Copies of this chain bind each other. A is one copy, B any other.
Amino acid sequence: MKERTSVSNACLARLPRYLRLLKDRRESDIKTISSTDIARELKLKPIQVRKDLALVNEGSGKPGVGFEINDLIYNIENYLGVRTKKNVIIIGAGRLGQALMNYNGFENDIQIVMAFDKDKRKCNDKNIIYIDRLEEFVKKKRIKVAVLTIPGDDAQSICDRLVRLGVKAIWNFAPTNLKVPEGVVVKNEDLSASLTMLLNKLKYEEDK
């Protein structure tokens, strides 16, 4: 596989979008697709699509024709690493946590295996259990990935606990700047900031 370093964050964000489009086309029994085609669909430039694909695609496209859809899917999935199962836990079984537990749009390498909550009334001893059992569970199942859907105040302390237990990747929905040691990756999903950005864009549109 190609070197990971070569792929920018921006490109990394586009890959899942390509993947989705490609799978869509495969559904319709289409065999090939051109960068022009992809670009039109996703509002990108053909040259950018080609650049991106060149970074992750083992094979190559045919001039005048395009790319083999199946090859592309295989290579992108391979690159993204979505071909190996990952067990994920959720901390905080509030509405957001439950939404993610039941979300069926994730790539099929994602397996949400358990949710934890500090409110015993939310626990059902099946897929939502009491937060005190976190240590035991994470160790036994060797969990590496956790989702934080808890209030900001609790986020850092839970994060510390998770890191101590060997969790290496945290998807954080709490509006907090988590501090983690080297080697642990965090992705902040700042819903408030996201909506604010949208509204700011709108304001700009209106002012035009």
Contacts and interface: CB of A to CB of B under 8 A. Distances in A.
A169 B198 contact: yes
B95 A17 contact: no
B145 A199 contact: yes
Interface residues of A, number: 61
Interface in A56-105: 80-82, 86, 88, 94-96, 98-100, 102-103, 105
User: Chain A's interface: helix, strand, loop or mixed, by majority?
Assistant: helix
A4 B198 contact: no
Contacts of A177: 17, 21, 41-43
Interface stretch (A114-122, A158-166, A189-197): A189-197
B191 A100 contact: yes
B207 A4 contact: yes
A173 to B, nearest CB: 9
Contact of A95 (B99, B105, B169): B99
Contacts of A9: 197
Given A98-B99, A109-B199, 5 more contacts: A5-B204, A80-B200, A107-B195, A107-B196, A145-B202
Interface of A: 4-5, 9, 12-13, 15-17, 20-21, 41-43, 80-82, 86, 88, 94-96, 98-100, 102-103, 105-107, 109-110, 144-145, 152, 168-169, 171, 175, 177, 183, 185, 187, 189-207
28 contacts: A4-B203, A4-B207, A12-B200, A13-B193, A17-B177, A20-B175, A21-B177, A88-B195, A94-B99, A95-B95, A95-B96, A95-B98, A95-B102, A96-B99, A99-B99, A103-B191, A105-B192, A106-B192, A107-B196, A109-B199, A144-B202, A145-B202, A169-B198, A185-B201, A185-B202, A185-B205, A187-B194, A189-B194
